[in-house]
């Protein structure tokens, strides 16, 4: 069986790093991915996909990327569930295994 996702899109915000309960570094980013076809109104729609980055991938992405940068993410789908008001809710995330920095909207001189 195979669980693999490849996305190319723009970061909707600057990456921010937090610590997990076990002390690992984690960043949650949202990737804006444009669809390759127009809807019935002739408009290209965009999907906003939540991606989770761990440890070194999170640190490097925060250091080198900002809002609006184009990145490629290779990873896997992970579904989490929780209960709210007696109903089970589901959240689908992409857990990144590799992030490729494709372009930048800012000056990298630091």
Tell me what pLDDT residue 110 has.
Answer: 46
Domain containing 73 equals 5-103
95 pLDDT band (50/70/90 cuts)?
very high
Alpha-carbon distance of 69 to 43, in angstroms, equals 22
Half-sphere exposure of 108 (CA within 13 A, CB side): 8
Q: What is the pTM of this model?
A: 0.84
How many structural domains compose the chain?
A: 1
Q: Compute the average pLDDT of residues 28-36.
A: 95
Domain assignment present for 109: no
Instruction: Tell me the per-residue pLDDT of 36-64, one tens digit each, with 9 for 90 and over.
Output: 999 999 999 999 999 999 999 999 999 99
Q: Check which CATH number belongs to the domain holding 10 and give it.
A: 2.40.50.140
Query: Distance (Å, rounded) from C-alpha 19 to C-alpha 56?
Result: 13
């Amino acid at each position: 069986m195979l669980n693999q996702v490849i996305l190319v899109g723009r970061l909707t915000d600057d990456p921010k790093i937090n610590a997990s309960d076990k002390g690992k570094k984690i960043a949650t980013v949202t990737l804006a991915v444009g669809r390759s076809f127009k809807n019935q109104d002739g408009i290209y729609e965009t999907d906003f996909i939540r991606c989770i980055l761990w440890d070194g991938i999170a640190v490097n992405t925060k250091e080198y990327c900002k809002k609006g940068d184009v990145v490629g993410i290779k990873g896997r789908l992970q579904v989490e569930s929780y209960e709210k008001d007696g109903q089970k809710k589901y959240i689908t995330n992409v857990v990144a295994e590799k992030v490729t920095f494709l372009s930048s909207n800012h000056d990298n001189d630091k």
